[in-house]
Amino acid sequence: MVIILGFINALLLTLLLSPFLLRKINKLIFQNKNKALKKSAALLSKMHMYFAYILLATALTHGYMALGTIRLHSGYLLWLLVLVQVIWGNLFKKMKKPYMLKVHRAIGLSSVLLLIFHLLQVN
Ligand code: HEM
Ligand code: HEM
């Protein structure tokens, strides 16, 4: 169950980063002309915050089931980063300052590095 939830977490994180990746691919390879990529990014963006709230719940369940306690661990650091993103994402939605999206993107991408570190730590 811990490992299944781990993969669900990884899937949710991928879905959270997908609008960014699809838009980048569309821009770099298709000069922004690929309609299917545009549509998929827009659809995933609509579900973005729901993925985030589900991830907060599934990651905490996965982590607590794996360790049975809360202590310093790459998994909990990753969870904290997702929590920061949820707070920052909501602030950005309210304030709409362009720099906030840049920070949100940067934290999102650094969560991939922390995920790699997490996977190295548990294997
Ligand atoms: C409730 C939580 C969250 C809210 C309210 C939120 C809100 C937003 C908003 C309004 C945007 C810009 C519009 C869009 O492209 O959809 C955005 C973009 C983005 N979010 Fe979030 N977000 C949340 C959680 C997360 C999490 C947990 C991650 C990843 C760890 C994440 C990663 C990103 C990335 C990478 C982008 C850039 C998309 C792009 O450049 O195309 N977000 N978010
Ligand atoms: C976004 C959050 C998270 C993601 C994407 C994630 C992902 C994963 C994945 C995919 C695995 C399976 C690795 C494998 O067997 O190859 C795993 C295992 C593990 N995770 Fe996480 N995790 C997250 C959060 C957490 C949290 C909050 C903790 C708590 C400290 C945690 C602790 C562990 C432990 C101890 C294992 C090893 C379990 C075992 O082998 O029985 N993870 N994680």
Percentage with pLDDT > 90 across the chain: 99
Contact (CB, 8 A) for 21 and 44: no
Nearest ligand 1 atom to alpha carbon 22:
41
Domain boundaries, the chain: 2-122
6-37: pLDDT as tens digits: 999 999 999 999 999 999 999 999 999 999 99
Q: What is the pLDDT of residue 23?
A: 98
Contact (CB, 8 A) for 16 and 88: no
- Amino acid letter, residue 63: G
The token duo for 20 is 């960014």
Measured distance CA(8)–CA(10) in Å, rounded:
5
Measured distance CA(82)–CA(114) in Å, rounded:
11
Measured distance CA(27)–CA(104) in Å, rounded:
20
32-64: pLDDT as tens digits: 999 999 999 999 999 999 999 999 999 999 999
Residue nearest to atom 10 of ligand 1 (CA): 93
Measured distance CA(108)–CA(91) in Å, rounded:
15
The neighbour count for residue 63, using CB atoms within 10 Å, is: 23
Q: Over the chain, what is the mean pLDDT?
A: 97
Please state the three-class secondary structure of 58-77 as a single string: HHHHHHHHHHCCCCCCHHHH
Q: What is the pLDDT of residue 90?
A: 98
56 lines ligand 1 (CB under 6 A): no
46 lines ligand 1 (CB under 6 A): no
